[in-house]
Amino acid sequence: MKSAFLTMPVAIAAALVPGHAGATPLTSDLLTDFNAIVGNFSSTSETEGAVIVGGTLSGSSATFDTRGGHPSGTVSGFGDVNVYGDTSGGPYNVNNLAVKVATAKQTATFSGGSVTYSASLPYSYASISGQLTKLSTTLSTLKTTTGSSLSNSVFTAKPVNGVAVLDLTLSQLQNIGNPSFKLNGAQLFIINVDASSYATVSGQNFNDQGIAANILWNFYNAKSLNFGVEFGGTVLAPGAHVTNSSPIDGTLFAASYTGNGELHVAPLSDASYLNTVQGVPEPSTWMMLIVGFAGAGVMGWRGRGRVAARAA
């Protein structure tokens, strides 16, 4: 009886450890293994990394995954181009890539590669979109870390444990000149922008690709974004239609996308923090839970033993 009672809490805790349920992929894998995660996707240009299209893929022509970075980790079940809805148009250059289309409609033209229709994809798009939308909402509640600022077109990060946050208004972002960034050791610089719409202004060049892997732009309430200059950093815009005529250097998550500019691979160098801000405990917390469950089991068994002894 003793051993059975003691192992029950440990078994319950083990079932709760991330990786056992397999319900959703890691946020860090989504934002580093894909160049775009959008609803409807239409582009006349190049996308350097893998993509997830939750709606339809359309357009006159596009080239995909020129860097050949195949999804891995908790997203390894995806192909290089993944489409949940119908496909049309083309030709799409997908040489040597795996294309997975969840529907049976075969009206698009794919050049090369391996195309599978009626494909099974490892996660629903609703779960992925919901997960990243929740991330955007949660990040929007974070307050500017003390010492982080925007002054004279200089973005300054003051990180705490490698992470810094800066909250901006639309006017603050629109009124800068040629921007520069001082990371001060920040591995992840989260910039929350409160704007229903935003269009880059001539002279605002964000193309410092040396820091793109450290910046996450969170346009949490935007409905429209237009990037007319090169824009460095991962972009979260769950409710926005995004257009570009110049490259975006980083992962794009948006409601829909129409591209006349390239999407460049610039994955976040350290996205692990993003796995901890949505109610998922860090590994140390899981160990505390396991120890706590086990301790409760020991106390329960001792209590039962004392009752039995008194009864005897």
pLDDT at 172: 95
Per-residue DSSP letter, 295 = H
pLDDT at 56: 97
Model-level pTM?
A: 0.82
Measured distance CA(119)–CA(101) in Å, rounded: 6
Measured distance CA(148)–CA(168) in Å, rounded: 11
Per-residue DSSP letter, 207 = -
**The length of the chain, given as a count of residues:** 312
For the chain, counts of helices (H) and of strands (E)? 5, 23
pLDDT at 278: 60
| 199-238 pLDDT per residue, tens | 988 777 776 668 899 999 999 999 999 999 999 999 999 9
Q: What is the DSSP string of 122-178?
A: SS-HHHHHHHHHHHHHHHHTPPPPTT-EEETTEEE---BTTEEEEEEEHHHHHT--S
Backbone phi, psi, residue 28, to 5°:
-60, -35
Cis peptide before 71 (omega within 30 of 0): no
In this structure, the number of other CB atoms found within 10 A of the CB of residue 103 comes to 14
Per-residue DSSP letter, 222 = -
Residue 111 region, left (φ>0) first, then alpha (ψ -120 to 50), else beta? beta
- H or E segment to which residue 101 belongs: strand 98-101
pLDDT at 12: 31
pLDDT at 95: 81
Residue 259 contacts by C-beta under 8 Å, 6 or more apart in sequence?
A: 41, 42, 43, 44, 45, 47, 62, 243, 244
Measured distance CA(71)–CA(100) in Å, rounded: 13
pLDDT at 69: 80
Alpha helices in the chain (DSSP H): 2-16, 27-33, 125-140, 170-174, 283-311
pLDDT at 250: 95
Taking only the tens of pLDDT, the chain with its 312 residues reads 333 323 333 333 333 333 333 478 999 999 999 999 999 999 999 999 999 999 999 988 889 978 878 899 999 999 999 999 999 998 999 888 999 999 998 899 998 889 999 999 999 999 999 999 999 999 999 999 999 999 999 999 999 999 999 999 999 999 998 899 999 999 999 999 999 999 988 777 776 668 899 999 999 999 999 999 999 999 999 999 999 999 999 999 999 999 999 999 999 999 999 999 864 333 333 344 334 444 444 444 444 444 444 444
pLDDT at 139: 98
Q: Going by DSSP bridges, is the β-strand pair 154-156/149-151 parallel, antiparallel, or unpaired?
A: antiparallel
Block residue for tokens 């003691």:
6
pLDDT at 218: 98
Sign of CA dihedral 82, 39, 264, 270: negative
